[in-house]
Structure 1
Amino acid sequence: MEILIAVLCFLVIYLGQTVVYRKYWDQGLSLDLDFDDRYLEIGDKSGITETITNRKMLPLTTLHVKFSTARSLQFQENENAVVTDFYHRNDPFSIMGNRKVVRKLSFTAKERGLFFISAVKLMAKDFLMSKTFALSVENQAFLYVFPEKLSNIQLDTVLDGMLGDLTSRRSLFPDPFAFSGLRTYSVGDPRKSINWKATARCDDLMVNVYEHTAEQRVKILVCLEPNTMIRVHYIQEMCISIASTAASYFLDNRIPVMIRANGYDLLSGEMEWVDFGSSGEHRFTVDKYLARITENAGIDRFVEVLKQEVTDVDSNTTYLIVSAYHKKDLLDELDHMAEKGKNIYMIVPYLDIQGCDDIRPYLHGMEVELNDT
């Protein structure tokens, strides 16, 4: 009789707690899963913060947070993770009623891209650990990892040469209707350029700065087509990094920059571009665009872009072509642009085991290391 009563009591408890957990386990339960930063450079360290809040009395002694993200985010602690094509994580928690638990996961960004946190799930067991309950959680977290900024003597030489050419072709006289900002007065500034209202506010002599009448600008065109099938991904990433470095260089020197690549945008699935701009925000716009580039759209699509540029009559635009691919079909198009009076520079990244001949006056080779790590 006592055994029967014990069995009945157990069944009542078992069924009761099962019903309670099935109905209430996810009430008042929330998960906030987000990147600590929105924008990083390659090599930067950051993290993901998991915040679980249980706003009810019912405890969740066994709770798991599952999610996936890019494997190029190299996490420091991988005890609860599996790395395949993605980084899959399964973190166990135990949270009492009316409590909040916060956990931080540190990582290093190893590759360029736009990354998300996907497949987010909360999984819990009842008090007797006999039933499992699951809940999918929507997540809007994102992280941009910008292309690497390069330090290369050959690249610096080309960019310095371009800047000198751009400067020499600018008008010597500023346009009084093209106001671009303020700066502190320097010896030799004309008295009429002093901005007296700004001077009163800043308690220092401030002068108006104007753009030049013939504003020079740069179009950066990036071709992701490989020249050979050796280290294709590495060379494509070098092209994108060269473009990012060049854009930053010209924007630092107040040269408007437009950029376009024959790569598909991760968000739209189309070949996008970024129009001319020279503001500080434009630098982020360019790097965000470059971070979103995925696969190569092909050499034919890039040649189409060049054919469109031939019809552009703007004489104040200098073209920077970034392309490891430098075969005859592409060079013929660039020759045609040069014959039409276009100002062209071309940077060709090549592996140190390959070599590159400067077979055109506008073509400049840039040697990069064959890094097998």
Structure 2
Amino acid sequence: MLTWMIISILLISGLLILVYDQWGLKGIAYSRTFSKQRIFEHESLDMVEVISNAKLLPLPWLRLESSMPVALRFGEQDNLGVSEGNIYQNHVSLFHLRSYRQITRRHRLTCVRRGHYSLETATMTGGDPLGLSSKAKQFTLNLKLLVYPQILAIPELPLPNHSWLGNLAVRRWIVEDPFLIQGTRAFRSGDTLRSVNWKATARTGSLQVHQRGYTADHRLMICLNVESAESMWRTILEPERIELGIRYAVSVAAYALENGIETGMLCNGWVQGRERDSVRIGPSGHAGQQEWLLETMAGLILERTVSMVKLLEEEVELGTTDMDYLIISCHRGEKLQEVVRKLEQLGNGVEWMDIPELPGKPGQEAPPAHEGGNA
């Protein structure tokens, strides 16, 4: 009797293994979506999973695994295990699925760091009721999420004393219009030779320049310096401090654009998914400028391309005039101040926004690029 019982158990177990190994994961469909494709730091969204079983055979247990960036934080939830590393976290969930059923599961995520994130695959494992065998299947997701840097309120920014930013909403910007000439005037310190009116100079016997009219147009170039010191090389030593500078940059840009100021961005880092060149986005006030600046800063890799001195020297070589530069930096090195004086001599305005020191371990290197994970 005992022998027949053992034989029966073995036969049933073997049959279950055969059935579930052959048909267990057939007819199983899985999809994953985000409730939003674009979001700001520290905001939340839902990750929605839909799993369906389009056959008669029920699934007594399923295990779903995927690797996700640690910057996407899960809330407390049953049947969900999350093990975190420095960059990625392994997301594991267990459930069962009856025949011809579909289930929808929602996970609340909070995005704690900016970045371009990609979730490529998820792996599902299932098996027989006794757990004697299992089989895995990989699902392609190709899921993208763009997390913008957090925009801070203007009072939270370390604005320079008497900064035009603090009074932007009520101030009417007046700069010279190079195409509107209303006569001549005597040469003054700061005037360039190209503005000299040579006929009037010859007639009066003293140096005369074109008297230009004025316009309310205004241009702002935000310069984000990823260097923590003038002597720094490629590796970013204070990443969290630069992250704060990124928030400063997008906050000023948003505020300026909302007030009708043409705004651009200059940065000596490079952007994920683009050429490894420094960032230069010319000032513009068109409708898509803010989104383009946010997307660029979301994908900024904390790795220095060239010195900020080099970038500003290129601005000097271009002969840029009538531009306001806001330099967001951890330092005001001697070479940096020297090139700033050259910009001012060309008729540009320059202001500084210092990135304060943060408590923490000095010498900490920047994390790798913000990229998605695979299962």
Which TM-score applies when normalising by structure 2? 0.73
Aligned to 1:32: 31
Aligned to 1:179: none
Aligned to 2:221: 219
User: Which residue identity does 2:112 align to in structure 1?
Assistant: K
Q: Choose which of 334, 342, 347 in structure 2 pairs with 1:328.
A: 334
> Taking structure 1 as reference, are residues 153 and 262 closer, same or farther at Cα in structure 2, changes over 3 Å only?
closer
Q: Choose which of 129, 132, 138 in structure 2 pairs with 1:136.
A: 138
User: Which residue identity does 1:246 align to in structure 2?
Assistant: V
Structure 2 CA distance, aligned partners of 1:166 and 1:328? 33
Aligned to 1:281: 288
Equivalences for residues 31-70 of structure 1 within 5 A: 31-70=30-69
Q: Is the 8 A contact 1:60 1:124 kept in 2?
A: yes
Deviation per residue, 1:184-205 (Å, 9 max, x gap): xxxxxxxxxxxxxxxxxxxxxx
Aligned to 2:325: 319
Deviation per residue, 1:324-370 (Å, 9 max, x gap): 1221122222222223333322222223xxxxxxxxxxxxxxxxx75
> Taking structure 1 as reference, are residues 50 and 330 closer, same or farther at Cα in structure 2, changes over 3 Å only?
same
> Taking structure 1 as reference, are residues 15 and 31 closer, same or farther at Cα in structure 2, changes over 3 Å only?
same
Q: Is the 8 A contact 2:81 2:93 kept in 1?
A: yes
Equivalences for residues 171-210 of structure 1 within 5 A: none
Aligned to 2:81: 80
Deviation per residue, 1:251-297 (Å, 9 max, x gap): 10122222132223222362344444323432222111111112221
User: Which residue identity does 1:61 align to in structure 2?
Assistant: P
SS at match of 2:136: strand
Q: Is the 8 A contact 2:322 2:347 kept in 1?
A: no
Deviation per residue, 1:90-113 (Å, 9 max, x gap): 000101121111111113222222
Q: Is the 8 A contact 1:221 1:319 kept in 2?
A: yes
Q: CA deviation at 1:141?
A: 1.9
> Taking structure 1 as reference, are residues 304 and 139 closer, same or farther at Cα in structure 2, changes over 3 Å only?
farther
Aligned to 2:107: 105
Q: Is the 8 A contact 1:77 1:105 kept in 2?
A: no
Q: CA deviation at 1:31?
A: 1.6
Structure 2 CA distance, aligned partners of 1:273 and 1:140? 30
Aligned to 1:207: none
> Taking structure 1 as reference, are residues 279 and 33 closer, same or farther at Cα in structure 2, changes over 3 Å only?
same
Establish whether residue 152 from structure 1 lines up as the match of residue 156 from structure 2: yes
Aligned to 1:197: none
Structure 2 CA distance, aligned partners of 1:311 and 1:164? 34
The structure showing larger relative contact order (alpha-carbon pairs under 8 Å, at least 6 residues apart) is 2
Structure 2 CA distance, aligned partners of 1:266 and 1:61? 43
Deviation per residue, 1:117-154 (Å, 9 max, x gap): 35521111223321121122222222222222223364
Structure 1 CA distance, aligned partners of 2:132 and 2:157? 65
User: Which residue identity does 1:34 align to in structure 2?
Assistant: T
Establish whether residue 234 from structure 1 lines up as the match of residue 230 from structure 2: no
Q: Is the 8 A contact 2:59 2:96 kept in 1?
A: yes
Aligned to 2:204: none
Q: Choose which of 265, 270, 280 in structure 2 pairs with 1:259.
A: 265
Structure 2 CA distance, aligned partners of 1:84 and 1:267? 24
Question: What stretches of structure 1 of length at least 5 have no aligned partner?
Answer: 175-211, 352-368
Deviates more, 1:45-54 or 1:266-275: 266-275
> Taking structure 1 as reference, are residues 9 and 154 closer, same or farther at Cα in structure 2, changes over 3 Å only?
closer
Name the one with the larger helix percent.
1
Q: Is the 8 A contact 1:25 1:60 kept in 2?
A: yes
Aligned to 1:208: none
Structure 2 CA distance, aligned partners of 1:275 and 1:310? 15
User: Which residue identity does 1:252 align to in structure 2?
Assistant: E
Aligned to 2:94: 92
SS at match of 1:52: strand
Q: CA deviation at 1:163?
A: 7.7
User: Which residue identity does 1:293 align to in structure 2?
Assistant: L
Q: CA deviation at 1:169?
A: 1.3
User: Which residue identity does 1:292 align to in structure 2?
Assistant: G
Structure 1 CA distance, aligned partners of 2:74 and 2:174? 49
Establish whether residue 338 from structure 1 lines up as the match of residue 344 from structure 2: yes
Q: CA deviation at 1:16?
A: 3.2
Q: Percent identity?
A: 20
SS at match of 1:267: coil
Q: CA deviation at 1:170?
A: 6.4
Q: Is the 8 A contact 1:149 1:241 kept in 2?
A: yes
Kindly tell me the number of residue pairs found equivalent between the two proteins.
315
Q: Is the 8 A contact 2:227 2:307 kept in 1?
A: no
Structure 2 CA distance, aligned partners of 1:88 and 1:161? 48
> Taking structure 1 as reference, are residues 318 and 102 closer, same or farther at Cα in structure 2, changes over 3 Å only?
same
